[in-house]
Amino acid sequence: MSIADTLYSAVVKRDRASEQGLSPQVRADLPANGLRLVGAQGLQSAGDQTVNASTVLPWLFAALGVPPALVGLLVPIRESGSMLPQAFLTPLVVRARRRSLVFAAGALVQAACVAVMTGVATLGHGLAAGVTILTALAVFSLGRCLCSIASKDVQGRTIPKGERGQITGLATMAAGLVAVTLGVGIRLLGDDRLDAGTLAWLLAAGALAWTASAVLSAQVREPDDTPDEAGEADADSPGALARSWALLRDDRGFRHFVTVRSLLLVSSLSPPFIVTLSLQAGADGLSGLGGYVLASGIAALLGGRMFGRLADRSSRRLMALGAASASAVIVAVVVLTRLAGVDGASGPGALALVSAYFLLTLIHTGVRVGRKTYLVDMASGDRRTVYTAVSNTTMGVVLLLVGGASAAVAAVDVVWALLLLAGLGTLGVVLGLRLPEVSRG
């Protein structure tokens, strides 16, 4: 056995039956490709922790004296900006024979944009600094688009069913380790000592992580010949984009998946409201920035490997279980805060809210691994690329709608926003269990 084969077998529970269905070329390259994908995706996820639009960038804005109104644009630009353009970029990605190079290009775009943010953090101040960072973040989101479209296709072409979820899970663990380190560092420094200079070093580390991710992904060896599936994504035909959207309208199975994915937003949109509940009570100490970053990192570290294996068994059941668990945690938080009088100002209350945040983040880790694995397993060839792009573009729109609705409800009462998300999650359980099984089982 080669060194790569030994290492890959040590970190991934291999599905020998699925591997036998691969071509000799893909099977020979599998161990090295698997390790490269874990490294590339792990470095990208680690970089994400250093440019977190919910934690790091708002702190940077505060340190630079950026007007508070611009803070509200960070998450929409990063999240929706990385999803909405995907259907429009699909013809460009499909035209590339080596999708791993598309992933590398997207990683380099992100590295360059974070380098710009590093310079602004070092030299900038005020409104000009905020506008420059937001502009860099918008271009950064386009790089994320390319990586998102290409990564699932590369994984589907080089990794067999039964092992794909573990690849995603291991990358998630790597990101969790970075978040834990970051959270501990913030706790040791003290939240009030995070100045712009310190955050600039953090951003510089993120730029290096994306550069290393690009180098690793460019080395992935893809099969020489992967024919299109029924010509679904012929980039040179005039109606390629229209047919991509037609998939959502006419493909019942794909539409079912997108609907379920929309309802799974319960695990991604609810954690900020937990933080809001804590802040409204004047929380500090354990429930400060460091505590929540640390909780997020531990969740990813613990959940990555475990959920990766569960996803390979049944990504459908993992998604449904995640929606059910997130809804249950939300209901428990509402009961504690409204009926038991728990709030983030007291020690026990702070611990309860941070624990709820940890559980929701852990559940979201499982949901993300599950839905990514399901999407990779449900299709092959260029149809997978189109599915990824159309799904993410649709989710960009849904994210704006559901996020706007929950924010509007939260303006009245945060608890009602949480209950709205819990209701959506409950519906997601019902529809998720009705999805067809596509994983190895």
Q: Which domain holds residue 333?
A: 21-223+239-432
Cα dist from 226 to 31, 126, 432, whole Å: 20, 51, 30
pLDDT at 343: 63
Look at residue 367 and tell me if it is in a domain.
yes
**Which residues lie below 8 Å from residue 198, measured CB to CB, with a gap of 6+?**
189
Please give the tally of structural domains in the chain. Answer: 1
CA 27/CA 377 separation, integer angstroms: 18
CA 403/CA 421 separation, integer angstroms: 10
Look at residue 234 and tell me if it is in a domain.
no
119, with CB counted inside 10 A (0-12, 13-18, 19+), is middle
Condensed to tens digits (0 to 9), the pLDDT of residues 166-200 reads 888 888 787 778 777 777 776 666 555 567 887 88
- Region 275-292: mean pLDDT is 59
Is 70 exceeded by the pLDDT of residue 240?
A: no
Look at residue 396 and tell me if it is in a domain.
yes
- Region 414-434: mean pLDDT is 90
Look at residue 342 and tell me if it is in a domain.
yes
pLDDT at 166: 83
Lowest mean pLDDT among 18-22, 257-261, 322-326: 18-22
Residue position matching structure tokens 């570290």: 301
pLDDT tier, 1 (very low <50, low <70, confident <90, very high otherwise): low
Question: Are 214 and 104 in contact, with CB atoms under 8 Å apart?
Answer: yes
Tokens coding 149: 């479209």
CATH, residue 107? 1.20.1250.20
Is 90 exceeded by the pLDDT of residue 112?
A: yes
- Region 195-215: mean pLDDT is 88
pTM, to two decimals: 0.71
Look at residue 14 and tell me if it is in a domain.
no
- Closest to 323 (Cα-Cα) out of 434, 432, 435: 432
The rounded mean pLDDT for the chain is 80
Lowest mean pLDDT among 298-307, 329-338, 417-426: 298-307
